[in-house]
Amino acid sequence: MAFLEALRAEIGAAQVLTGAEAAGFGREWTGHYHWTPLAVARPGSTAEVAAVMRLASAAGVAVVPVGGNTGLNGGTHAEGALMLSLARLNRVRGLNAATRTVVAEAGVVLERLHEVAAEAGLVFPLTFGAKGSAMVGGFLSTNAGGSNVVRHGSARALCLGLEVVLADGRVMDLMTELHKDNTGYDLRDLMIGAEGTLGVITAAVLKLVPAPAGYGTALIGVESLEVALDLLNRVQAGSGGAVEAFEFMPARYMDRLARLKPELACPFPPQPVNILIEIASTRADESPSALLEEILGGALEAGLIGDAVIAGSEAQRRKLWLMRESAAEITFTTPNLVDTDVAFPLDRLETFLHRMTARLAVLDPGAEELVIAHLGDGNIHYTAYPTRDDAGLRDTIRAAVAEEAVALGGSFSAEHGVGLSKRPTMAAHKNPVALEVMRAIKAALDPRGILNPGKTLP
């Protein structure tokens, strides 16, 4: 009670939520995790975040940072802990069109960032289905990816500088706009992807790119992932590396989409492999759509494509994207599922899917699977639907996915972070020396272990 009273004195009583007021913060978007936080603090500035952390450090109170709470691996689970909401740090501090950078606070919603960039004729190229609620601090803390990684990279590649509040309340100012800075350890990259276990991100300097003058977008059907990757290389070569997205939606995904969202049904009989491909150009005198049509025409003549639809308008382009962006909605239809995100060298995805389908049939005959992928960067979202509500079975399936991924030279966590769900996998597959180094870093920066405890590290 003394801690909460001190907290109210620092940031205002109205910004410290307890009891029923905090209930809305007690679950994750997936519904897999539920908890009761000690309280929810809603600071409105970096200085107030620092004050909260000083109080928490002195009292030994665990603190779990939270943004839009769109994570999928239990990263904001906060039983008995103080949840630190960054939602009120929602200011865009400035945009420099000449240097193509924007300075945004941790609570700025990704979609708002898109709007601000568009007003300057620029684009912040990170995008994914939760763009309407995910926030800057959250997508940096998980090093989020999304659909445009194939051309622009993950969140880490789009960040130049950070402002971070450490566990003891000190503010580490790394807010550089430099593209080159070899002054010792890269502390910015250390914080990105750390899931709030090393510090609280309060603001960032982010890269912008020129807004495309036009897009070429198509949905194509082919017989295998091998053919799809051949097609990706053809389009990359023919367009000068202009592929923005290359998304994989297999026939089973298309069938589920048609059943749950009939207005988004595939415009042709679904093929074994259906690809949403998009290229873009910043030149007004170029037609990416015409170029894509020419390249795909050659592939069609070569017998690589079974069917295709090219978007002829922005409305048609948006409908094709809705087919892909509805993935989370049509995947998370039941709490009894195993959702994973794994990554591979591009030539091993098909091997993984064959192996995992066979292994799932042994582990749980009758279980179903659903796959969707950012094929251009080797990231597969593999979901299994067990035949029974059995936590042990779900753990076994998750472990099997990780084992198959690692065996093929892949990663058991591509873009969703580790959180709670993948801690056992970290223990089983992360290099032991790497884990020792990670623990040493955690101990150095958070000696009392109050920042998002119980996450990431096994």
In a domain, 434, yes or no: no
In a domain, 43, yes or no: yes
Q: Which residue has the tokens 């803390």?
A: 141
What would the pLDDT profile of 269-281 be if each residue is shown by its tens digit? Answer: 999 999 999 999 9
Regarding whether 369 and 294 lie in a shared domain, the answer is: no
In a domain, 407, yes or no: yes
Domain with 175 in it: what CATH number?
3.30.465.10
In a domain, 75, yes or no: yes
pLDDT (0 to 100) of residue 82: 98
Helix axis angle for 288-301 and 225-239, nearest 10°, is: 130
CA separation for the pair 331, 324 (Å, rounded): 11
b vs e for 319-328, b when ≥16 Cβ sit within 10 Å of the residue's Cβ?
A: bbbebbbbbb
Residue 120 corresponds to which tokens in the numbers above?
Answer: 């300057």
Question: What total number of domains does the chain contain?
Answer: 4
Other CB atoms within a 10 A radius of the CB of residue 416 amount to 21
What secondary structure letter does DSSP report for 368?
E
Query: Are the beta carbons of 456 and 424 closer than 8 angstroms?
Result: no
Regarding whether 315 and 239 lie in a shared domain, the answer is: yes
For residue 274, list its beta bridge partners.
221, 249
pLDDT (0 to 100) of residue 291: 96
Q: Find the mean pLDDT for residues 408-421.
A: 92
Domain with 235 in it: what CATH number?
3.30.70.2190
Question: Residue 119: is it exposed, middle or buried by C-beta count within 10 angstroms (0-12/13-18/19+)?
Answer: exposed
pLDDT (0 to 100) of residue 333: 86
Regarding whether 391 and 350 lie in a shared domain, the answer is: yes
Domain with 409 in it: what CATH number?
3.30.70.2740
What secondary structure letter does DSSP report for 135?
B
In a domain, 71, yes or no: yes
Regarding whether 245 and 185 lie in a shared domain, the answer is: no
DSSP states along 177-191: --S---SSS-HHHHH
Question: Residue 285: is it exposed, middle or buried by C-beta count within 10 angstroms (0-12/13-18/19+)?
Answer: exposed
Q: Calculate the CA dihedral of residues 437, 442, 443, 448 and round it to 10 degrees.
A: -160
Residue 355 corresponds to which tokens in the numbers above?
Answer: 């192996």
Regarding whether 405 and 341 lie in a shared domain, the answer is: yes
Regarding whether 45 and 79 lie in a shared domain, the answer is: yes
In a domain, 271, yes or no: yes
Give 71 or 360, the one with higher predicted confidence: 360
Phi and psi angles of residue 49, each rounded to the nearest 5 degrees, phi first: -60, -45
Regarding whether 181 and 109 lie in a shared domain, the answer is: yes
pLDDT (0 to 100) of residue 239: 95
Range of the domain at 79: 2-85
What would the pLDDT profile of 367-381 be if each residue is shown by its tens digit? Answer: 999 999 999 999 999
What would the pLDDT profile of 19-54 be if each residue is shown by its tens digit? Answer: 999 999 999 877 788 999 999 999 999 999 999 999
What average pLDDT does the chain have?
A: 95
In a domain, 346, yes or no: yes
* Last-in-domain residue among 35, 56, 85: 85
What would the pLDDT profile of 115-142 be if each residue is shown by its tens digit? Answer: 999 999 999 999 988 899 999 999 999 9
What would the pLDDT profile of 70-87 be if each residue is shown by its tens digit? Answer: 888 889 999 999 999 999
Regarding whether 297 and 342 lie in a shared domain, the answer is: no
What would the pLDDT profile of 169-222 be if each residue is shown by its tens digit? Answer: 999 999 999 999 999 999 999 999 999 999 999 999 999 999 999 999 999 999
With a pLDDT cut of 70, the percent of the chain lying above it is 100
In a domain, 427, yes or no: no
- Strand pairing report for 82-85 and 39-41: parallel
What would the pLDDT profile of 238-267 be if each residue is shown by its tens digit? Answer: 999 999 999 999 999 999 999 999 999 999
Regarding whether 158 and 267 lie in a shared domain, the answer is: no
Regarding whether 319 and 292 lie in a shared domain, the answer is: yes
With a pLDDT cut of 90, the percent of the chain lying above it is 92
pLDDT (0 to 100) of residue 72: 81
Q: Which residue has the tokens 């004195």?
A: 9
CA separation for the pair 324, 159 (Å, rounded): 26
Regarding whether 373 and 301 lie in a shared domain, the answer is: no
CA separation for the pair 146, 325 (Å, rounded): 10
**pLDDT confidence band for 1 (50 / 70 / 90):** confident
Which contacts of 174-181 are long-range, i.e. CB under 8 A and separated by 24 or more positions? Answer: 175/103, 175/203, 175/204, 175/205, 176/205, 177/96, 177/99, 177/101, 177/205
Name the residue type at position 131.
K
* Last-in-domain residue among 53, 85, 117: 85
Inform me whether the pLDDT recorded for 393 exceeds 90: yes
CA separation for the pair 407, 139 (Å, rounded): 28
CA separation for the pair 341, 115 (Å, rounded): 28
What would the pLDDT profile of 274-310 be if each residue is shown by its tens digit? Answer: 999 999 999 988 899 999 999 999 999 999 999 999 9
Domain with 50 in it: what CATH number?
3.30.43.10
* Last-in-domain residue among 65, 85, 105: 85
Inform me whether the pLDDT recorded for 335 exceeds 90: no
Regarding whether 339 and 323 lie in a shared domain, the answer is: no
